[in-house]
Chains A and B, each alone.
Chain A
Amino acid sequence: VSGPSERRISTAFGIEARVWSKGSGEPVGFLGGLRGLPRWIPFLDRLAEDRHVIAPSLPGFPGATGHQNLDDLADWVTATLDLLDAAGLDGADLIGASVGGALAAEVAAFSRATVRRLVLISPLGLFDASEPVADLWALRKSEVVPLLTSRPDLLEAFLAKPEGEDEIEWQIALTRAQEAAARLLWPTGDVGLAKRLHRIQAATLLVVGAEDRVLPPSYAKRFANGLSGFVQVRRLEAAGHMLEIDAGEAAAQAVLEFLD
């Protein structure tokens, strides 16, 4: 896997963000999941064979600051719209995973013209107390990895400290990513998206892991039933919540088929 090219952008709210990009052709944006993008991943590399992949870091996730200046959903949506603009993704296809999926869906609901086609990977943003989403922030150490992935080896490699990075600062960066997700989603993950799903008219692909232990299986249906445009649901075997890590090749294949 060869790395992406990197540039930095500044937007309102004091946000400084890294933008990774690779490939050529039509642009497609990617908003990362619960740990952001601590490193480039095979899923994006496969997409970059066919498309121009552009991945701006969300505030507080690896590569970006500013989450502590965002107080509510309006701030988060505004910040995400700013980032998409600055990254050259206004009007492009957009992929969002987990927490990034919640924001991609919000952006598509609030600003239809911003998102051409939408891909939601294990998206957060909904909550039903009768069938709750797992609590991502009340975990014993031993529970974290099994909750998030079906491939602990791949997740470990994804989060491993790159050579040359300071051990404490690396841990702080990963904790900061968790804090940023919590800042948006605490305590249940319900950001009110259920009230806005009908605003989403973009053709949407929902990709879910058959072994997702964060989102109950019915949540894919909740999303699909709520959306107003064309919806396709793809369920990937042997994949957990972080399915872009667990099954990067299959996930990329599903996304490319949908976007073609």
Chain B
Amino acid sequence: MKLLWFHLMPYTRLPDDFAEKHPSVWVDIDSRLFDPVVAHGLYNEFMDELEHAAEMGFDGVCVNEHHQNGYGLMPSPNLIASGLSRATRDAAIVVMGNSLALYNPPVRVAEEMAMLDCISGGRLVAGFPVGTPMDTCYAYGQNPSQLRQRYHEAHDLIMKAWTEPEPFAWNGRFHKLRYVNVWPRPVQRPHPPVWIPGGGSIETWQWCAERDYVYSYLSYFGYKLGKATMDGFWDEMKRLGKEPNPYRAGFLQFVGVAETRREAMDLYREAAEYFYGRCLHVDARYAAPPGYASEATIRARVRSQVVQAADRSTDKSAYGTPSFEEIVDKGYVVVGSPDEVAEQLRHVAVDLNVGQLMLLLQFGNMGRQLTLHNTELFAKRVLPQLRDLFDREWENHWWPKPLDRAQRALPSREGAR
């Protein structure tokens, strides 16, 4: 299986009374809480951590896109991915991803991702999320009733821009372009693997099956709650006659590794409570703009991540505030010794049938030292126990196909001299 190291890039200095004093971590978060000097340190630490993870042998590094958000400091994941493309050698560069409806014209995504694929020598995974309501409808003012129509048009335009050799005119419903002719083009042919981060909508599953894309369920609420969604996904794949290749699916899991479970409970408590208490303090007023969820989705009661989290929502908060014991009991964060974590993650991977496992080993206000500790323990003592899973039975058709190592350029200051 593939084990990927995912960074959300949270701001780590939200005050202790954040959830009491402030309405939301997202959309209208108080800008006076942001210190650019702190952020200077954080961005550099976070990129160090991603680069270190790649060196330690994780199969890929993942970044994603959020706007006006205190737990996600990457309005442009492509900027970070660009740095990672230079600073890493073999890891997949997984951009999870660009919210397609936010780019005008959407060929911007085709261009930037092609740049990343060229810089990295063909290591890019192209993630195409619709994006959350907070990011798309509130921060970026997109019309919730048009969001999915715009997303699908943007997708079709990007794929054609990557694969059509001749300049072409695009006379779409939302975009009119007389000359589409993307330069540069991606290294990977016909295009980089496409992964779709999604909630639990049945239309998304069907679309992933039809296009042969990876479906990634990026929940913050762990494998126990994720089970129902992944079961729904696999039932739908079976109905559509798709083989149950685990590499067709991605899943996100928070993990804290220590020598013992007790030590892990001590080490990761603060960071987890920071994440679930402060980072997920999202005002309920931004959770469900009308039209964001399709009527079929509402009808099927298959809910998007935020709406699902609203099971524990209050009038003021979309998520509520769980204790660390609850966080661990419910499987939001997997904690334990290396062997215990390996066993649990093996269970997660097999039970959910997920081959592309994305791990959050930095979360909340976890500092550099603890993050490196978590990452190294995982890389040295958990990862080797899981790496071979699925590989005998299944081929990963959705992994980047980079240039041969010998063909790939190395960043070199020597070369410049």
Residues of A within 8 A of B (CB): 67-68, 71, 137-143, 168, 172, 175-176, 178-183, 186-187
Contact residue among B173, B286, B290, B316 (Cβ-Cβ distance under 8 Å from A182):
B290
Q: Which residues of A contact B138 (CB under 8 A)?
A: 138, 187
The complex places the Cα of A143 from the Cα of B173 at a distance, in Å, of 36
- What's the least CB distance linking A34 to chain B, in Å? 11
Contact residue among A71, A142, A180, A181 (Cβ-Cβ distance under 8 Å from B173):
A71
Number of A-B residue pairs with CB-CB distance less than 8 Å in the complex they form: 62
Q: Which residues of A contact B289 (CB under 8 A)?
A: 137-138, 182, 186
Contact residue among B143, B285, B299 (Cβ-Cβ distance under 8 Å from A172):
B299
Chosen A-B contacts, 5 in total, with CB atoms closer than 8 Å, are A168-B299, A178-B290, A180-B145, A182-B145, A182-B289
The complex places the Cα of A84 from the Cα of B108 at a distance, in Å, of 42
Kindly identify, within residues 234 to 248 of chain B, every residue whose CB is under 8 Å from any CB belonging to chain A.
Answer: none
Indicate if the CB atoms of B284 and A183 lie closer than 8 Å.
Answer: no
The complex places the Cα of A179 from the Cα of B291 at a distance, in Å, of 5
Indicate if the CB atoms of B285 and A186 lie closer than 8 Å.
Answer: no
Chain B, residue nearest A173 (CB): B295
The complex places the Cα of A168 from the Cα of B289 at a distance, in Å, of 18
Contact residue among A141, A176, A183 (Cβ-Cβ distance under 8 Å from B146):
A183
Q: Which residues of A contact B315 (CB under 8 A)?
A: 140-142
Given contacts A68-B145, A175-B298, A186-B144, contact A140 B290 (CB under 8 A): no
The complex places the Cα of A250 from the Cα of B14 at a distance, in Å, of 52
The complex places the Cα of A195 from the Cα of B175 at a distance, in Å, of 25
Q: Does B34 belong to the interface (CB within 8 Å)?
A: no
Number of interface residues of B (CB under 8 A): 23
Kindly identify, within residues 140 to 192 of chain B, every residue whose CB is under 8 Å from any CB belonging to chain A.
Answer: 141-146, 149, 173-174
Q: Which residues of B contact A183 (CB under 8 A)?
A: 143, 145-146, 291
Chain A, residue nearest B295 (CB): A172
Indicate if the CB atoms of A179 and B290 lie closer than 8 Å.
Answer: yes
Given contacts A139-B285, A183-B143, contact A68 B149 (CB under 8 A): yes
Indicate if the CB atoms of A143 and B291 lie closer than 8 Å.
Answer: no
Q: Which residues of A contact B299 (CB under 8 A)?
A: 168, 172
The complex places the Cα of A111 from the Cα of B284 at a distance, in Å, of 42
Indicate if the CB atoms of A140 and B173 lie closer than 8 Å.
Answer: no
Given contacts A67-B145, A71-B146, contact A176 B295 (CB under 8 A): yes
- What's the least CB distance linking B146 to chain A, in Å? 7
Kindly identify, within residues 260 to 318 of chain B, every residue whose CB is under 8 Å from any CB belonging to chain A.
Answer: 283-286, 289-291, 295, 298-299, 315-316
The complex places the Cα of A187 from the Cα of B146 at a distance, in Å, of 12
Given contacts A139-B285, A179-B290, contact A172 B145 (CB under 8 A): no
Chain A, residue nearest B141 (CB): A187
Given contacts A71-B173, A140-B316, contact A182 B285 (CB under 8 A): no
Q: Which residues of A contact B143 (CB under 8 A)?
A: 182-183, 186-187
The complex places the Cα of A175 from the Cα of B286 at a distance, in Å, of 15
Chain B, residue nearest A171 (CB): B298
Q: Which residues of B contact A142 (CB under 8 A)?
A: 315
8 pairs of A and B residues whose beta carbons are closest in the complex: A179-B291, A178-B290, A183-B145, A179-B290, A186-B143, A138-B285, A187-B141, A140-B315
